[in-house]
Amino acid sequence: MTLIKSISGIRGTIGGRVGETLSPLDIVKFTSAYATFIANKNPGKKLKIVVGRDARISGDMVRNIVCGALMGIGADVVNIGLATTPTTEIAVRLLGADGGIIITASHNPRNWNALKLLNEHGEFLTKEDGNEVLDIAEREAFEFADVDGMGSYAEDGSLDDRHIDEVLSLKLIDIEAIRQRHFRVVVDSINSVGGIILPKLLDKLGVEYKFLNGKADGDFSHNPEPIEKNLGGIMSEVAEGNYDLGIVVDPDVDRLAFIQEDGQMYGEEYTLVTVADYILEHVQGSTVSNLSSTRALRDVTERHGGTYYASAVGEVNVTTKMKEVGAVIGGEGNGGVIYPESHYGRDALVGIGLFLSSLARKGMKASELRKTFPQYSMAKNRIDLTPDTDVDAILMKVKEQYEHVDNVQVNDIDGVKIDFPDAWVHLRKSNTEPIIRVYSEAATAEMADKLGRQMMQVVYGLQR
C-alpha cells in the first residue's frame, strides 16, 4: 500500500493503515494543511474553495471528507461534482475562489486516489508553496473553526457548460470547418468524467461519435494510462469501423491521445506537436515542453521561426517556463496540451478542438497529417537501484563524462539530458521509487532503445 507526498498534493492507495495509504485521517490532515496555507495567504478573509472529482469508485468518500475538513477549517466550499481537472482549474477563476482541490489520481489504477492542490489562479502550487503545505501537515499546524466560524457548502453544476463555452470561444478553434468535415470518431473515456463532458463538446462541434467505456462509474475497463499497450480495443474499433479518428483521454481528461483512421497510434508525443504546429501557423512565438518530450516540437517550432525551450519534468515546471518566456503553446509529451489563451493547465478539450481544427482546415486524414512532422521514436527504460545508492553522484559522473564531447549538449536542470546531433537520452531519478528513468529518442524505435541501453551500461559501470 502506498502514500506519496509531493509538492502538488498527496496520492495513495485506498484502504490500509494511517500514514501508509490515503486513509480518511490522512485526507483530513492534508486538506486541513492546504486550507491553512490558503488562509495564511489571505488573513482575515472568508475563503472559498472549489472541489471537483473524477469518477473513481472512492471519489464520493474522499470528496465528503475533503468538503467536511474544509468547512471545519472555516472555508466555504463549492462542490462542482464530477468534473475534469481542467474544468476544476477553470472553475477556480470563474467562481472567484481562493483555491481548489481536484480529487483524482489521473492515470493511476482504480485503487488509487489523490488530492491535487490549486492556487487562486486555478494552477498547481509552486514547489515552494507545495513544500509549505507539506510542512504544515507534518507539524499539524492547523486549527479548526468554532461553530460560528464554520464554512458553508454549495453545489454548482454549471461548470462543464461554462468550460465548453470557453473552449469554443477560442479564436483558433474553427467550429465551422470542423462541422463541415462531418467527422466520425470513437472515444475511449475510460469510465470516468470524459464520458460526461466530451459528448457535450462533440455535439457542439457537429462530430458524430461512439463511446467506449463511456459509463462514468470509475470501474476502469483497462489500465487508464493512454498509451498504446492499453488501447487495443479502440485501435481495433477505429480500424474496423470506417472512422476518421479515435480520441483517448485519461480519467481526469488532462491527457489526450489519438488513433489514426487506419487504427494505428498517432503517438501521444505528437498530440502537442500537432497542436503547436497549428498554433504557430497563425501566431509567432516560442514553445515549451519538458526534457523528456519529443524533439519534434523543437523542430516544428524552429521551422516556424520560433524558439523552443525545455523545462524540468512536471506540469508546474512547464507552466513556469512558459510564463517566463511568453510561450504561445506548451505542454508535455504524454499528451498534455497547455494553451495560455485558455489557461495554464493541461486540457484535453482544448487539445481536441485545436487538433480537429487543424485536421479540418488541412483537409487531411490523421495518418497524412502525422507524416508531415519529423519522425522520431522514443524508448523508455529504467535502472533499479538500492535505496542507499547515491543517484545524484551517479548522474553527476554521467554529466562530466559527456559535457566536453564535441557536438554534444548536456542539460542538468532535471537529472541529465544528453543531446546528440541525431538523438537524445534523458536520465532522471524518480520521485517515488529507487530507480533512474532512462528516456531516449532517435529516428527509429530500435535506435532509441539501443541508445537507452547503452546509457544504462554507462551507469552500471559507474556503480561498480
Cβ-contact 60, 256 below 8 angstroms: no
What Å distances lie between residue 320 and 123, 124, 140, 290, 310, CA to CA? Answer: 10, 10, 29, 11, 11
Question: Measured between alpha carbons, how far is 29 from 40 in angstroms, rounded to an integer?
Answer: 16
Question: Measured between alpha carbons, how far is 275 from 353 in angstroms, rounded to an integer?
Answer: 9
CA angle 285, 287, 289 (to 5 degrees): 175
Residue with cell 529518442: 441
Distance of CA 326 to the CA centre of its chain: 20
Per-residue confidence (pLDDT) for residue 8, from 0 to 100: 64
93-98 average pLDDT score: 98
Task: Reduce the DSSP state of residue 371 to 3 states and report it.
Answer: coil
What is the per-residue pLDDT across 153-175, written as a single tens digit (0 to 9) for each?
A: 999 999 999 999 999 999 999 99
Question: Measured between alpha carbons, how far is 34 from 49 in angstroms, rounded to an integer?
Answer: 10
Domains, in order of start, for the chain: 3-157 (3.40.120.10), 163-370 (3.40.120.10), 377-463 (3.30.310.50)
Percent above pLDDT 70 for the chain: 98
**385: confidence class by pLDDT, cuts 50, 70, 90:** confident
What is the per-residue pLDDT across 12-63, written as a single tens digit (0 to 9) for each?
A: 999 999 999 999 999 999 999 999 999 999 999 999 999 999 999 999 999 9
Per-residue confidence (pLDDT) for residue 64, from 0 to 100: 98
**Residue 227: other Cβ atoms inside 10 A:** 18
* Cα end-to-end distance, the chain, whole Å: 32
Read off the C-alpha cell for 71. 468547512
Average per-residue pLDDT in the chain?
A: 95
pLDDT at 431 over 80: no
Per-residue confidence (pLDDT) for residue 2, from 0 to 100: 77
Question: Could you tell me which of 117, 61, 115 has the C-alpha nearest to residue 89?
Answer: 117
What is the per-residue pLDDT across 322-353, written as a single tens digit (0 to 9) for each?
A: 999 999 999 999 899 999 999 999 999 999 99
Does the annotation mark 106 as catalytic? yes
Per-residue confidence (pLDDT) for residue 6, from 0 to 100: 75
DSSP type of residue 95: T
Question: Could you tell me which of 92, 10, 101 has the C-alpha nearest to residue 52?
Answer: 101
Lowest mean pLDDT among 159-163, 166-170, 176-180, 392-396: 392-396
**Residue 141: other Cβ atoms inside 10 A:** 13
Question: Measured between alpha carbons, how far is 276 from 290 in angstroms, rounded to an integer?
Answer: 14
**430: confidence class by pLDDT, cuts 50, 70, 90:** confident
Cβ-contact 370, 267 below 8 angstroms: yes
DSSP type of residue 312: -
Cβ-contact 159, 93 below 8 angstroms: no
Per-residue confidence (pLDDT) for residue 5, from 0 to 100: 85
Q: Is 373 left (phi over 0), alpha (psi -120 to 50) or beta?
A: beta
Residue among 23, 106, 189, 286 flagged as catalytic: 106
Question: Measured between alpha carbons, how far is 329 from 12 in angstroms, rounded to an integer?
Answer: 32
Instruction: Give burial (CB, 10 Å; 0-12/13-18/19+) of 45.
Output: exposed
pLDDT at 205 over 90: yes
Q: At what angle do helices 24-41 and 127-139 cross, to 10 degrees?
A: 120
Q: What is the value of pTM for the model shown? A: 0.95
Question: Could you tell me which of 242, 236, 46 has the C-alpha nearest to residue 145?
Answer: 46
